[in-house]
Amino acid sequence: MIVIRDRMWTMDQGVAAVLGAAVGVVGTLGTAVFTYAATRAQTRDAGMVEHGHWLREKRLVACSAFLEALTQVQRTIDSHSDLDVPDIDHHGDGPLTASQREALRTAARLFEEQAELLTQARAGVDQFGPGRLAKLSNNVVQAVRDAAFELRLAERRGRPLSDETRIAGIMTKWEQSEEAFRAGVRVVMETPPQRRRLLRR
């Protein structure tokens, strides 16, 4: 009986030792998994913050370039304010003279060139976003292209500009789009990176 008890006791000790070792391994694995998960989460969070700052800088550069192009375009167009572009209110509805047609061609070419300049300048906004600013910058470019189209159309028809050409509406759209873009830039630049995810759409 004593021998059996000793054997039984010896087996109990062996089982206990095995179970103890197993619990130790599980505990060690659990700690390792927790540590890995926590480290990975910290790395991911740090990466997101770093990416947020990187994206913010890219957007700042892109928006600044487009705003600078807008200023240049406005100055260029203002410098040609002496162009005698014919319109019904000041020139009547008669056929255009050669000089008037040339004025329309010059104005159309001017707007086409400025639209191309803005298209190149908005490439960064289109690439880095956010989407709302990309759309607003495109609206500005489209307004300039629309103005060029209407000037070309009037020249080909050989008639002065009228309300039917939608020039007034086009210029209003341009001004509104430009102001909306500037306001959007201010929002993006003033919003912390972690909150700016709401502005991506």
Which residues are 161's β-sheet partners?
87
CA–CA gap between residue 70 and residue 137 (Å, rounded): 10
Q: How confident is the model at residue 187 (pLDDT cuts 50, 70, 90)?
A: confident
Q: Which two tokens stand for residue 174?
A: 């341009």
Does 99 score more than 60 pLDDT? yes
Q: Which pLDDT value is given to residue 25? A: 57
More confident residue, 31 or 78: 78
User: In this structure, which amino acid lies at residue 22?
Assistant: A
Segments making up each domain of the chain, as ranges: 55-199
Per cent of the chain over pLDDT 70 is: 66
Does 3 score more than 50 pLDDT? no
Residue 49 neighbours by CB under 8 Å, 6+ apart: 193, 194
What is the pTM assigned to this prediction?
Answer: 0.67
Does 160 score more than 50 pLDDT? yes
Q: Does domain 55-199 have CATH number 1.20.120?
A: yes
User: In this structure, which amino acid lies at residue 57?
Assistant: E
For residues 147 and 178, the answer to whether their CB atoms sit within 8 Å is no
More confident residue, 41 or 1: 41
Per cent of the chain over pLDDT 90 is: 25
- Would you list the DSSP string of the chain? -HHHHHHHHHHHHHHHHHHHHHHHHHHHHHHHHHHHHHHHHHHHHHHHHHHHHHHHHHHHHHHHHHHHHHHHHHHHHHTTTT----BHHHH-SSPPPHHHHHHHHHHHHHHHHHHHHHHHHTHHHHHH--HHHHHHHHHHHHHHHHHHHHHHHHHHHT--B-GGGTHHHHHHHHHHHHHHHHHHHHHHHHS-TTTGGGG--
Q: Which of 13-17, 25-29, 145-149, 196-200 has the lowest mean pLDDT?
A: 196-200
| Measured CA angle at 76 (ends 74, 81), to 5 deg | 90
Q: Which pLDDT value is given to residue 48? A: 67
Over residues 171-196, the mean pLDDT reads 80
Does 134 score more than 70 pLDDT? yes
